Amino acid sequence: MSWRDKISEFGQLGIDVRRLLVRGAALLFIGAMLASASVLNPNATLMHAMEFSWLPAAGWVVLAVGVLECFDAAIAKEARDFFANLPIGVLDVVVGGLTLFSISGHPQRLSLMIAAFLIAKGALRLVIAYGTQSSHKGSTVIGAWISIILGVLVAAEWPSSAGWFLAFCLSTDIGLRGWALIKLGLWLKARNPSQTAA
């Protein structure tokens, strides 16, 4: 069996489509709100971090999503579900935790970590979109490329290396990740309508 055939069986994973759609909608909403807040109120101060704008809030969201992914891995019934959720969850926990524990310095310290995170997450969404051959992969691919471009901009520190820009990029990725989860959930629901009827 080729790797494409194995990936096409992705729809058979033990994923609760309703939970996926709810998580996706929550991430899309929270990401959009934080990205908007980062642009509209760039001088916000959270957790006594003067120059970090909304970056601590984005760090909390990434950390919370990582904990949920790790929990999904812990309760997985199949080894494939465990290995699908655990690496993503650990990466989110590490990046979210480091973001929160680094708010005592300058936001520029986090630039390369956030850039690598955005590029890795965008690349992962590209692989999933092309691998699953989803009929709705166009919007997921566009969102993935936006995350990769934002990661490159953060690494280049253009147009800014300020906390508000880092918060905007990370929050935009959170929203795009929610959008990708919604599209994946809708694709799984269309492939397996009996799963959501239960």
Please write the tens of the pLDDT for every residue from 147-167.
999 999 999 988 888 889 999
* Count of domains observed in the chain: 1
pLDDT at residue 47 tops 60? yes
Q: Is residue 42 part of a domain?
A: yes
Residue 148: predicted pLDDT: 95
- Residue whose tokens read 């899309």: 28
Q: Decide if 169 contacts 157 (C-beta within 8 A).
A: no
CA distance 70 to 157: 32
Q: What is the pLDDT of residue 94?
A: 95
Residue 88 has pLDDT above 60, yes or no: yes
> From CA 47, how far away is CA 95, in angstroms rounded?
18
In a domain, 196, yes or no: no
Q: Is the pLDDT of residue 197 over 50?
A: no
Does 173 or 129 have the greater pLDDT score?
Answer: 173
d(CA 95, CA 98): 5
Residue with tokens 């709705």: 136
Distance of alpha carbon 56 from alpha carbon 147, whole angstroms? 19
Does residue 4 fall inside a structural domain?
no
**In a domain? residue 53:** yes
pLDDT of residue 157: 87
Mean pLDDT across the chain, nearest whole number? 85
pLDDT class for 13, splitting at 50, 70, 90? low
What predicted TM-score, i.e. pTM, was given to this entire model?
0.83
Q: Is the residue at 10 inside a domain? A: no
Look at residue 1 and tell me if it is in a domain: no
- Token pair in block for residue 191: 């492939």
DSSP, residue by residue, 77-142: SSHHHHHHHHHHHHHHHHHHHHHHHTTTS-GGGGHHHHHHHHHHHHHHHHHHHHHHT-TTHHHHHH
More confident residue, 48 or 63: 63
Domain that holds residue 53: 16-191
